[in-house]
Amino acid sequence: MEKKSAQLIQPDGYPQMMSRQDAAHAMRVLRSAQTSVKAQVVMESFVPAARTGMMAQVAALEAADDIAEISLAAHEIRGLAEPAGLRAAGRITDVLCRYLDETQVQGRAADKAVVQLHVSAILRATHAEDEGRANCDAIVSQLNQLVGRKLAERIA
């Protein structure tokens, strides 16, 4: 049997899903104030479910025994934090996730003290939302600097 090769289709060769007129109408509807209000209502209705999922992942993070469990919970938290209204925790978690991902790419073990510092900051930001928001920029900046130094040490 002869092996078939891939067929290349030029971009303008795909059938159009809607006419130009329909596409223009769809764009007007998507940009309308009504659509914006409806989207905001939908997003706000998602907050309780996101917060519930987020708090379950925070509990998993707090109970995690090893880096793999911490990484799994942290990546889930990073995705849920913003929709749950916990932006400070999400920003701190993002720094931890990037650190864990980079150490894995480098084939090195993450520094447990650095990971624990991040976990502690995430827990604090999650449970003390107002305080976490007020200090978030400083905390994220300091953790980014720490992670940068630790990653640089591992390369040198």
Is the confidence at residue 2, as pLDDT, over 80? Answer: no
Query: By the 8 A CB rule, do 48 and 29 touch?
Result: no
At residue 133, the pLDDT reads 56
Amino acid at 117: L
- What is the H or E stretch that residue 115 is in? helix 112-127
- The pTM for the full model equals 0.69
Q: Residue 132: pLDDT band by 50, 70, 90 thresholds?
A: very low
pLDDT digits (tens, 9 = 90+) for 82-129: 889 888 899 999 999 999 999 999 999 999 999 999 999 999 888 875
pLDDT digits (tens, 9 = 90+) for 45-88: 989 999 999 999 999 999 998 999 999 999 999 999 988 988 88
Q: CB 25: neighbour CB atoms within 10 A?
A: 12
Nearest to residue 46, comparing CAs of 81, 79, 84? 84
Looking at the chain, the whole-number percentage of residues with pLDDT higher than 70 is 92
Higher pLDDT, 16 or 27: 27
Instruction: Give the integer Cα–Cα distance in Å for 44 and 68.
Output: 32
Is the confidence at residue 25, as pLDDT, over 60? Answer: yes
Structural domain boundaries of the chain?
Answer: 25-155
Is the confidence at residue 38, as pLDDT, over 90? Answer: yes
